[in-house]
């Protein structure tokens, strides 16, 4: 059976949830991936403190025929490993930021991630997508020369801070799907391998596969699935296009998304360089049956048009594997 197609609400945080639900249902989406903290799409504190909160939310979603397989806690997770600075104030709730003391922010972020697992479990949701942050991302380019003990220490910190969080996830029956992404502890295939090893292959710790973050780095997204078939806990559908023209660079020149001078940019699914047919073939081999969650990001396209277009595109390649060998009918046996 083809996997359900959902829409991630993070990029629609200016809209209330019912507005999003109504439009996505109209297009034909089967569910939503709810972003924590985005205009009350999923408030973990209300879930934990008010038994009516999710009941009412769920009734509204049922009205539009939409299911929830996952919630997102990206921004708070970023604060667990990052070196906290003024940028983080803009992405987390005020109660997480507090007075901005870095260790206080980190401590509150860790608690919030644990509470997110408890809230998801209370609602019967089995997956939380998100970020880990990274204390060593600024060391990506080894100049001045990196002391490689610092890199090891970054992965040791991953284990120290995230294992207790993952233990709570495990107790709750919820899995954490880290979106492999620049600025995270795992940003490509090899760093993902190192992160899994550092976490002692904790059963609650896996990946939110998003090919758009791999393709512009030169990493084949299908190879990522081959490497971690049992750790793909969730899938984002997003595209990216590399547009190097002899002037632009792959590091994007400190030029923001949407500027045509960039060497690469995100695109709505089907409008970039990702080979989605190879991806679905590998997902079939991996026996991934979870949602394909459209994360719509395209500065050059009106978003409602893009949302409907993305759904139709995903439907075009969301095929199941064959249940018999194609040449079996030629056998005399």
How far is Cα 175 from Cα 159, in angstroms, rounded to an integer? 16
Confidence (pLDDT) at 2: 82
**Contact status, residue 120 vs residue 174, Cβ threshold 8 Å:** yes
Give pLDDT tens digits for 84-99. Answer: 999 999 999 999 999 9
Residue range 5-324, CATH number = 3.20.20.150
Q: Which of 165, 168, 156, 138 is nearest to 197 (CA)?
A: 156
CA distances from 282 to 6, 184, 294, 304, 323 (A): 20, 24, 18, 29, 15
Distance CA 120, CA 104 (A): 24
Q: Where are the domains of the chain?
A: 5-324
Q: Give the mean pLDDT of 203-215.
A: 98
pLDDT tens digit sequence for 14-57: 999 999 999 999 999 999 999 998 899 999 999 999 999 999 99
Q: How confident is the model at residue 230 (pLDDT cuts 50, 70, 90)?
A: very high
Task: With cut-offs at 50, 70 and 90, classify the pLDDT of residue 329.
Answer: low
**Tell me, what's the pLDDT at 322?**
81
């Amino acid at each position: 059976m083809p996997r359900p197609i959902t829409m991630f609400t993070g990029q629609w945080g200016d809209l209330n949830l019912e507005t999003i639900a109504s439009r996505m249902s109209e297009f034909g989406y089967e569910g939503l991936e709810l972003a924590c903290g985005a205009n009350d799409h999923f408030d973990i504190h209300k879930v934990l403190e008010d038994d009516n909160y999710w009941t009412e939310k769920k009734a509204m979603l049922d009205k539009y025929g939409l299911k929830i397989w996952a919630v997102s806690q990206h921004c708070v997770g970023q604060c667990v490993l990052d070196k906290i600075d003024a940028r983080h104030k803009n992405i987390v709730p005020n109660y997480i930021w507090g007075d901005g003391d870095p260790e206080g922010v980190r401590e509150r972020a860790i608690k919030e991630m644990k509470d997110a697992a408890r809230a998801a479990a209370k609602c019967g949701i089995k997956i939380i997508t998100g970020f880990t942050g990274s204390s060593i991302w600024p060391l990506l380019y080894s100049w001045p020369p990196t002391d490689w003990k610092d890199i090891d220490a970054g992965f040791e910190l991953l284990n120290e801070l995230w294992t207790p969080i993952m233990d709570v996830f495990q107790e709750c029956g919820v899995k954490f799907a880290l979106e492999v992404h620049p600025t995270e502890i795992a940003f490509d295939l090899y760093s993902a391998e190192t992160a899994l090893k550092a976490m002692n292959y904790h059963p609650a710790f896996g990946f939110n596969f998003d090919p758009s973050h791999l393709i512009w780095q030169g990493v084949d997204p299908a190879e990522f699935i081959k490497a971690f078939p049992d750790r793909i806990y969730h899938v984002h559908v997003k595209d990216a296009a590399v547009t190097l023209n002899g002037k632009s660079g792959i590091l994007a020149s400190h030029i923001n998304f949407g500027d045509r001078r960039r060497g690469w940019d995100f695109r709505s699914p089907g409008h970039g360089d990702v080979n989605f047919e190879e991806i679905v073939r590998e997902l079939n081999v991996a026996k991934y049956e979870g949602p394909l969650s459209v994360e719509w990001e395209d500065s050059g396209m009106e978003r409602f048009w893009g949302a409907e277009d993305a759904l139709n595109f995903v439907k075009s390649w969301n095929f199941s594997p064959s249940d018999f060998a194609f040449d079996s009918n030629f056998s005399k046996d």
